[in-house]
Amino acid sequence: MKDGKNINLALIGCGKMGTAMLRGWLASSIENRIYILDPAGIPEDLQDYVPNPVSFFTDPAKFVSAAPAADIFIIAVKPQIMENVCRSIAKAVPRSALVLSIAAGQTITSFERRFGTAQPVVRAMPNTPASIGEGISAAVANGNVTENQKEQADAVLKSIGKTEWVDDESLLDAITAVSGSGPAYVFLLIEIMAEAGCKAGLPADLAMRLARQTVVGASALAKKETALPVSSLRQSVTSPGGTTEAALRVLMGGPMQRLFDEAIAAATARGKELGN
């Protein structure tokens, strides 16, 4: 019985997230053999490096004919083409194999409909920092998933960062809105801080360097000081009557929380729409 090592993996879709996961598996040495299906061919950043354990297919029919002996089939395609892709590979997926989806809005029920109600299914939502091993994934399993399969799925996801398991699938849309989409909010914050610096008189390139490294450094500090509440980290920067307090009085007294409430709600609603 395999645990979290030497797993045979089939990756359906090798875009940015699929490639990030592939690199994580190879770096963690969790794989025994990897089968990849992507009609677009080998991603550009992998063209000079296709390791021996990897078999690459561009034709779903050839993928099915090869009968890949995978323990886990990772579905990493866009929701808009999910139905056709699952239909094209269904014959290659053994009923005992684990199907692990990282597609936004695609419910466990939808995969049970595509592959059968007895199919073990894990639905997960990673995020793009997975590409440097700093991602976080939230995951939920259906009742067909064994403990061994959950350990394997956990190893697959932990190879690209941290993992949080939940029991309530309905949380996945809000999780997607917070952590799945979250890196874009942080990058926007960098852009906003740099633009504000420019308006305060800084050269654009200097403002961007300052904003980028400030977010990088603050993130590293938040990662290191996990025993402290984030509010304590904020307060440690805020001297009474100082410059930070003056800025926070504007930010915390303004529409920032309302805007984020609306943004997370909009992303959550869109996730639900993608599942319909």
Domains of the chain, by residue range, sit at 7-172, 180-274
| Total Cβ atoms within 10 A of residue 105 | 19
CATH class of 180-274: mainly alpha
Q: pLDDT tens, 139-189?
A: 999 999 999 999 999 999 998 999 999 999 999 999 999 999 999 999 999
Paired strand residues for 2: none
Q: What is the pTM of this model?
A: 0.88
Widest CA span in the chain? 70
Contact 89, 63 (CB under 8 A): yes
Categorize the per-residue pLDDT at 1 as very low, low, confident or very high, splitting at 50, 70 and 90. Answer: very low
Say which DSSP state 177 is in. Answer: I
The CATH code for residues 7-172 is: 3.40.50.720
**What gap in Å lies between CA 18 and CA 185, rounded to an integer?**
22
Would you call 130 exposed, middle or buried from its count of C-beta atoms within 10 A (0-12, 13-18, 19+)?
buried
* Each residue's pLDDT tens digit, 93-113: 999 999 999 988 899 999 999
